[in-house]
Structure 1
Amino acid sequence: MSEQMRIMRSKELPKELRDRIVARQRSGQGYKRISAALKVPKSTVASIILKWKKFGMTRTLPRPGRPAKLSNRGRRALVREVKKNPKITVAELQRCSREMGESSTKSTITAALHQSGHYGRVARRKPLLSARHMKACIEFAKKHMKDSQTMRNKILWSDETKIELFGVNSKRYVWRKPGTAHHLSNTIPTVKHGGGSIMLWGCFSAAGTGRLVAIEGKMNAAKYRDILEENLFQSAQDLRLGRRFTFQQDNDPKHTAKITKEWLRNNSVTVLDWPSQSPDLNPIEHLWRDLKMAVHQRSPSNLTELERICKEEWQRIPKSRCEKLVASFPRRLMAVLVQKGASTQY
């Protein structure tokens, strides 16, 4: 048998070729002659002609396939349960299925949900939002949707974050052979209580990153005021924002404390009126993620090294990244309006 015939047996013939087989048979040619002329196995020629005589067509007929383990009614019921409670477990769905008289395995239930477009994923952690929070977010989004890009470029964004020496963010994959999981080269060193951590205050604008400060001891309003005193105007100057910039901070109690408000007022700092519980809106959250990934790739061995590497990687964040994040602000505002104040994909 030729190589072409072998391929023909493993693949379905094009409809045009099937029609030519029928046309030759109708003109009086036999199976053997058709097979040789079109280089199609004789058994395939016979099968196509038989189908044409029986059904009057050469196109592929629908195949019944394996019967479904779940009825359409059962599948719809499972989808309803998932829509009603997205956190429902497969075991709970199994019980629901049994109660409907359709005992199904976990794999059957999972497959049915996949067919309906539902997939198991790790739930994102988002702030708990009250009706008051959502209303404030909507009002904020409406107020600032029409701000010009020039205005947004004059905003100095700020926030605090914690970075652990050996934390969950240091998850890494390794290529290894079976039985070598505990080899030194295939492990990540850890110590009790995560090896410690540092708290950082940082800021940035569309022009790039500003100062990054390690916070000594427990953060309070007085310490926060001192950080602003030593770093806010210097960052604005380094980024060439001028004196008429807008300062963004969230509504942490340290940020809204009396001594903080007094310092900001006495220094004529324009503060962006920020809605509570709205980290989705602050583009600096993405910079913190970038920083943590870059730092843990360098595997610092102690807190002093961790601080040094954080400051080095913060300075290495390209201006283009900062520009892109600030440019995303209108989309963040629109997402808030679409979600009616609830959490967004950001």
Structure 2
Amino acid sequence: MPPRRKLNEFERGRAVAWFQDGVPKQEVARRLHVSISVIVRLIQRFTATGRVQERRRPGRPKKTTPREDRLIERLALQTRTASSSIIRRQLRVATNTNISQQTIRNRLHGFNLRSRRPAVRPRLTPAHRAARRAFCRRHVRWTRQQWSQVLFSDESRFTLNHNDDRLRVWRRQGERYIDATVQENVAFGGGSVMVWGGFQPSPQNTIVSCTG
């Protein structure tokens, strides 16, 4: 199911324009990554009022202006690993606006930015990349019988300490593997247990072995 979020004014205008051009509501919802009910309510409101803006709702007014909201988004995108407390301090220095960390997170959620663990990849030099391409070219035509003679292995880390020093990054849906949200590593640090495992494919079965 698409994530629950509010469309901004630009997205609401695009949704109405697509609908008027004959795009089905389901397709409009898919393009904007929202539930179909969000598009249905938007079209109903536009049909009744001719406007895409939401009705003013009673309650506590927002503590930030649209300009401050855009600044919060920009700060998170400039430094994906910045925590909500760091963004809060930066905003206070820049605009003298004092808001809570939860408000920072709420604004970023409104821009479809969520705090997630970064994808991890090994740090590859040009020599590493060239060697991997050469390996692929040498083995691209290997048969299943040839691969059955190869032992594939991998390793995982199990942290013993409460603080594993892992980062979190702000990212939108579909941004898991972009460079700004990926953490490169060379080797694991201390305070952890390494578990190694390997498997060897064969025509009949798979052999698995593990060691700590």
**Structure 2-normalised TM-score?**
0.44
Larger Rg over CA atoms: 1
Bigger helix fraction: 1
**Structure 1-normalised TM-score?**
0.29
